[in-house]
Amino acid sequence: MAQLKVENLVVRYGDVVAVDGVSFGVGEGEFVSLLGPSGCGKTTTLRCIAGLESASGGRIEIDGQVVADGPREVPPNLRGVNMVFQSYAVWPHMTVFDNVAYGLRTQRVSRAEIQTRVAEALRLVGLTGFAERFGTELSGGQQQRVAVARAVVTAPRLLLFDEPLSNLDAGLRERMRFELVELQRRLGRTSIYVTHDQSEAMVMSDRIILMHKGRIVQEGTPQDLYERPSCRFAAEFVGSANLLSGVLESVSADGFGMVALQGGLRLRARLPGHAPAAGLAVLVCIRPESVQLAGQASGENVFPAHVSRVSYLGGVLNCAVRAGSLDFRAEFPAHSRMQAGTDVDLRIAPDNVIIVPDSD
């Protein structure tokens, strides 16, 4: 049974529609990310689930209980959810212990049980021995851990994360990603994670819900999103992409077709589920890392090209490549020692020539 059901959620501020008819479900124990650029409505959606914001319309169900349905709303303190905030929100006037124990005290848990559960939560986030410190005496990373301990200790029905890592510096952010996933897997709590960082969402989530301008654009596993973007926005937002326009020339029964790109290149491509008819204009997405050095001058999807510029990024070389009059970017391994000005033969596997269905 779905732990969370959001149906047709709408949030309006005056004339501005922040969330425009969003519906999705989250299963028991699942880790789902709401991903999108700032202003796409992801945080507003999360705050509606928490009860911190009122929806203008729609219905939210947690564990089978309706918590919001039009004007009828369950206040946030009675929803049995907990949240890790972007600003951590560690109470400055309380010790770490009091911060974590707060939710248990409101639930009138016995003193002895509070002791053991808080100690357990602090151990889980690696803060054993910090119980008597004040929130303001901790570093950003430690405050983040307090916030996580405080959210999991109450055993909430839903664990919500509002861009919890965005205030940390890059190195710590990487580490916390894995720690959070690890923690979530161990506790098995249903989690909803809001982020604008696509790599964060890819690493952590079972499923990603991609949002844009208040609507859900695409929903699926990280792999789905990366390999089968449903539109131009999805292709551009998740990973880097060469987006080229072309015409679908022919469609064959084995699920492949031929596209003629503007600039003269013709490539074999795998067709998406409901493919457009032959003869129509389409958008083609080619990831830079799917462009390979062919090693031979002929074959399927092999074509000659000229490397015009090479940028050294450490592990890979990001190259500006020109084939005929078509410009795009390709990524080669650093050991290929690619030089600017070289003429090469390139290949793109038909599976990696992605036809994007609707080009909004």
Partner 1 sequence: MSASVAPRAGYAWIKRFGLPAMLGAVLFVLVVLPTAFMFIGALMSAGMADPAAHFTLAKLQTVYTTLPYLRALGYTLAMAGGVAALACFVGIALAWLVARTDVPRKRLLEMCMIAPLFLSPFVGGLAWLILGSPKAGLLNVLARDLFATKGAAINVVSTTGIVCVMALYFVPYAYLTISSSLRNMDPALEEASYLNGAGVFATALRVTLPVLRPSLISAFFFIFVLAAGTFSIPAVLGGASRVPFLAVIVFETTAAYPIDYGKSAAVGTVLFWISVMGVAFYRYASRAANRFVTVTARGFSMRLVKLRGWRWPAVGAIGVYVLLAIVLPYLALIYTALTRYMTSSFSKASYSLDNVRWAADSPEVIESIWNTLLVGVVSPTLCLALAVVLAYAIRRMKIRFGRTLDYLTMFPIAIPGIVLGTGIFWTYVTTPVYGTIWILVLAFVASYLPFAYRIGDTALMQIEKSLEEASALCGASHRGTLWRITVPLIRPALLSGWVMVFIFSVREISAAILLASPSNEVLSTISWNYLDYGDQQKAAVLGLVQTLILISGVLAGQFVFRVRLTQAV
What is the binding site for partner 1 (CB under 8 A)? Answer: 43, 47, 50-53, 75-79, 81-83, 85-89, 91-94, 102-103, 106-107, 136, 147, 150-151, 154, 156, 166-167
Tokens of 188: 């098995």
Pure H helices in 188-329: 198-204, 222-227, 232-237
CB of 172 to partner 1, least distance (A): 16
Q: Output the CA torsion 260→265→271→272 (10° steps).
A: -90
- According to DSSP, the residues that pair with 328 across neighbouring strands are 321
Separation in Å, CA 104 to CA 49, 101, 112, 246, 359:
21, 5, 11, 60, 50
Token pair recorded at residue 168: 């940390």
How near is the Cβ of 149 to partner 1 at its closest, in Å? 12
Q: How far is Cα 27 from Cα 219, in angstroms, rounded to an integer? A: 14
CA 200 vs. chain centroid, Å, equals: 6
How many CB atoms neighbour CB 67 within 10 A?
A: 24
Q: Which is nearer to partner 1, 70 or 304 (CB)?
A: 70
Q: In the structure encoding, which two tokens stand for residue 59, read together?
A: 């219905």
Question: Shortest gap between Cβ of 103 and partner 1 (angstroms)?
Answer: 3
Look at phi and psi of residue 80 and say left if phi exceeds 0, alpha if psi is from -120 to 50, else beta.
left
The least CB distance from residue 35 to partner 1, in Å, is 17
Strand partners, 5: 25, 61
Give the nearest distance from C-beta 116 to partner 1 in angstroms: 18
Alpha-carbon distance 135 to 120, whole Å? Answer: 19
54 vs 252, beta carbon nearer partner 1: 54
Min dist CB 162 to partner 1, Å, is 8
Residue 135's alpha-carbon distances to 59, 106, 132, in angstroms, are 37, 20, 9
Minimum CB–partner distance for residue 180 and partner 1 (Å): 17
Comparing CB distances to partner 1, the nearer of 21 and 76 is 76
Spatial strand order of the sheet with 16-27 comes to 16-27, 2-13, 57-62, 65-69, 72-73
